[in-house]
Structure 1
Amino acid sequence: MEKNMQAEKLFGVIGDPVGHSLSPVMHNDQFAFQELPYYYHAFLVKPGELKEAVNGLKALHVSGFNVTVPHKIEVMNYLDSIDEEARMIGAVNTVVKEENGWIGYNTDGKGYVESLLTKAGETLENSSILVIGAGGAARAVISELARRGVRQLTVTNRTSAKAEALKERVSERADIRAVPTPEAEKDTPSFDIIINTTSVGMSPHVDNIPWRTDHLKPGCICSDLIYNPLKTAWLQEAERAGAQVLNGVGMFVGQGAFAFQKWTGIWPDVDRMHAVVMHHLGGN
Structure 2
Amino acid sequence: MPRALVLGSPIGHSLSPVLHRAAYASLGLTDWAYAAHDVDEAAFPAFVAGLGPQVRGLSLTMPLKEIAFTVADPVSDRARGAGAINTFVRTESGWSGDNTDIAGIVAALRGADLEVGPAPVGLVLGAGATARSALVALRELGSREITACARHTDRAWDSLEELAESLDVQLTVRPLIEWFDVSADLAVSTLPGAGGLAAAESLARSGSRLAGVRLLDVAYADWPTPLASAAAVAGAQVVSGLHMLVHQAVEQVEQMTGHRPDWRTLLAAGEDELARRVRALGQD
TM range (shorter): 0.7 to 0.9
- Is residue 231 from structure 1 mapped to residue 224 from structure 2 by the alignment? yes
- Distance in 2, Cα, partners of 1:186 & 1:245: 14
Deviating 4+ runs (over 6 angstroms) = 205-208
Q: Taking structure 1 as reference, are residues 175 and 60 closer, same or farther at Cα in structure 2, changes over 3 Å only?
A: closer
Q: 1:114-129 residue pairs with structure 2 within 5 A? A: 114-118=107-111, 121=114, 125-129=118-122
- Distance in 2, Cα, partners of 1:66 & 1:139: 18
Structure 1 vs Structure 2: percent identity of aligned residues? 31
Give the gaps of 5 or more residues in structure 1.
1-7
The answer on whether the counterparts of 2:243 and 2:267 sit within 8 Å (CA) in structure 1 is yes
User: TM-score, normalization: structure 1?
Assistant: 0.87
Shift of 1:53: 0.7
Give the gaps of 5 or more residues in structure 2.
277-284
Shift of 1:259: 0.6
Bigger drift between 33-42 and 46-55 goes to 46-55
The answer on whether the counterparts of 1:223 and 1:246 sit within 8 Å (CA) in structure 2 is yes
The answer on whether the counterparts of 1:64 and 1:94 sit within 8 Å (CA) in structure 2 is yes
Q: 1:103-118 residue pairs with structure 2 within 5 A? A: 103-118=96-111
The answer on whether the counterparts of 1:73 and 1:90 sit within 8 Å (CA) in structure 2 is yes
Bigger drift between 113-122 and 149-158 goes to 113-122
- Distance in 1, Cα, partners of 2:140 & 2:161: 14
The answer on whether the counterparts of 2:149 and 2:179 sit within 8 Å (CA) in structure 1 is no
Shift of 1:98: 2.1
Counterpart residue number, 1:209: 200
The answer on whether the counterparts of 1:193 and 1:220 sit within 8 Å (CA) in structure 2 is yes
The answer on whether the counterparts of 1:163 and 1:178 sit within 8 Å (CA) in structure 2 is no
- Distance in 1, Cα, partners of 2:176 & 2:138: 24
- Distance in 2, Cα, partners of 1:128 & 1:101: 40
- Distance in 1, Cα, partners of 2:24 & 2:108: 22
Bigger drift between 81-90 and 118-127 goes to 118-127
Q: Deviations over 1:185-213 (max 9, x none)?
A: 4733x2223321110358xx978737515
- Distance in 2, Cα, partners of 1:75 & 1:182: 29
Shift of 1:47: 3.5
Q: Taking structure 1 as reference, are residues 268 and 122 closer, same or farther at Cα in structure 2, changes over 3 Å only?
A: farther
What is the root-mean-square deviation of aligned Cα atoms in Å?
2.3
- Is residue 26 from structure 1 mapped to residue 19 from structure 2 by the alignment? yes
Which structure carries more helix by proportion?
2
Counterpart residue number, 1:79: 72
The answer on whether the counterparts of 2:186 and 2:213 sit within 8 Å (CA) in structure 1 is yes
Q: Deviations over 1:138-186 (max 9, x none)?
A: 1111112223331221112222222213122132323232322168447
